[in-house]
Every structure is written in C-alpha cells, then in structure tokens.
Amino acid sequence: MAAWWRHHKTTPRHGNATGERRWWGLNRARKALESSRDTVASIAFDTGFYDQSHLIKAFRAVYKMTPEKYRQRHIGIPTGRKHP
C-alpha cells in the first residue's frame, strides 16, 4: 500500500504541465535568439520566464550552452557586449 501511495502521490494525473510550458518557452526563446537581436533578458520576459537567470538555467539544461553562446555558434549574431 505504501508503494502505491508514493507512486500516485508523485505522478501527475494530467501530464507534466510545467515541463510542457517550459519546453514551449524554450522553443520560443530559441527561435527569438535565431531571428532577433533582442537581449536575453527581453527574450526571457517575452517567452514567459520569470527572469533572465531562469531562462539561462533552463536553456543550459536542455541545449548544454547559454543563450548567448547558442546565438554566437548557430546564428552568428554578435552579442550585445562591446569589445575593445
């Protein structure tokens, strides 16, 4: 009985809505990184993340790089940083 309770207590009944929303937001963020020069903070806000840090952590967990690195490697759009 205890094993049954632990399984059903921790298993979502209707799918993982948080995970689906996160994936949807990451996909939108990735597309925004590819198609615009907006800052990562602006993209985070537009795609429903709490802040830039939250987007960076989620993005790194899935794509194994930061959003800025993704933009540099895959798109070739320079970052917002100014180099001397």
pTM of the model: 0.65
* CATH architecture of residue range(s) 20-75: Orthogonal Bundle (1.10)
Please report which confidence band the pLDDT of residue 82 belongs to, taking 50, 70 and 90 as the band edges: low
Q: What is the predicted pLDDT for the residue at 75?
A: 72
Please report which confidence band the pLDDT of residue 77 belongs to, taking 50, 70 and 90 as the band edges: low
Q: Is 51 exposed, middle or buried (0-12, 13-18, 19+ CB in 10 A)?
A: exposed
Long-range contacts of range 51-57, CB-CB < 8 Å, 24 or more positions apart? 55/25, 55/29
